[in-house]
């Protein structure tokens, strides 16, 4: 019997979790067509940075995906920094990095896509549903709990947790390049939309549902209603 290829192994893991190619690709931050080609052995094993993205999309560890690829991940010369999450109360045993045992610290942290950094995951009762307006000079990373039910076409379900960055680079719009971004479209909550700058310098917001009309904002309105950019999505953390 022929040994399973790298792509076969990824497909087996994905199917065991009941995920679609589109969903894995969305969580990994890569295109669905590219990921499909990897699963179908039409691409070579990706470089380490992409392997880490795929591990995030499949919700498996970096160690596991490197083993599947027959690679040994290079160790970082310095300890991985931990991003501070503003506005959240952390469990008592993770308040101080100096007191935190290594095993406990790892259990309460998750990685960010395309980064060696890690993030404390929040208690379910301390996740934001509304974020403050975007300020370019104040770079923060916050958790946002999704309350919308109309984002399924974007691969986002109600109660998913989104990591929102206010970093200028993350929030920069590139023409014809869509991004997931968080907006204060109402005063009640912050919501996520697929965001695209059009050729006439307007910003189009959409849920991905063909039955819902997109919302168009001027650049001034975009900056006024922006809360930040989605840099990661997580599900079933608790």
pLDDT digits (tens, 9 = 90+) for 82-109: 444 444 433 333 333 333 333 334 446 6
Q: If pLDDT is split at 50, 70 and 90, which confidence band does 27 have?
A: confident
Distances, alpha carbon 202 to alpha carbons 135, 205, 217, 218, in Å: 20, 10, 6, 5
The predicted-structure confidence for 150-182, as pLDDT tens digits, reads as follows 988 888 888 888 889 998 888 998 887 889 999
CB 113 within 8 Å of CB 232: yes
Please tell me the predicted confidence (pLDDT) of residue 113. Answer: 64
Please tell me the predicted confidence (pLDDT) of residue 152. Answer: 86
Q: If pLDDT is split at 50, 70 and 90, which confidence band does 133 have?
A: very high
Q: Average pLDDT of 213-217?
A: 93
Please tell me the predicted confidence (pLDDT) of residue 175. Answer: 81
Which residue in 183, 164, 185, 80 sits closest to 122, CA to CA? 164
Q: How many whole angstroms separate alpha carbon 48 and alpha carbon 174?
A: 26
Q: What is the pTM of this model?
A: 0.56
DSSP state of 85: B
Q: Average pLDDT of 59-83?
A: 64
Average per-residue pLDDT for the chain = 79
């Amino acid at each position: 019997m022929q040994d399973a290829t790298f792509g076969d192994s990824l497909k087996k893991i994905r199917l065991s979790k009941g995920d679609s190619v589109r969903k894995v690709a969305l969580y990994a931050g890569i295109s669905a067509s590219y990921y499909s080609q990897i699963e179908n052995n039409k691409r070579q094993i990706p470089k380490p940075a992409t392997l880490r993205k795929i591990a995030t999309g499949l919700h498996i560890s970096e160690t596991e995906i490197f083993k599947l690829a027959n690679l040994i991940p290079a160790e970082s010369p310095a300890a991985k920094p931990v991003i501070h999450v503003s506005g959240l109360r952390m469990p008592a045993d993770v308040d101080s990095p100096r007191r935190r045992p290594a095993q406990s610290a790892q259990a309460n942290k998750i990685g960010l896509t395309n980064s060696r950094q890690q993030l404390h995951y929040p208690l379910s009762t301390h996740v934001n549903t509304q974020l403050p307006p975007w300020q370019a000079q104040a770079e923060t990373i916050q958790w946002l709990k999704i309350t919308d039910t109309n984002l399924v076409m974007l691969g986002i379900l109600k109660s998913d947790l989104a990591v929102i960055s206010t970093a200028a680079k993350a929030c920069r719009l590139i023409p014809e390049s869509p991004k997931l971004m968080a907006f204060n479209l109402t005063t009640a909550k912050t919501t996520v939309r697929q965001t695209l700058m059009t050729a006439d310098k307007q910003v189009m917001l959409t849920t991905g549902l063909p039955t819902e009309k997109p919302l168009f904002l001027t650049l001034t309105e975009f900056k006024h209603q922006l809360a930040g950019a989605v840099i990661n999505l997580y599900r079933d953390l608790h």
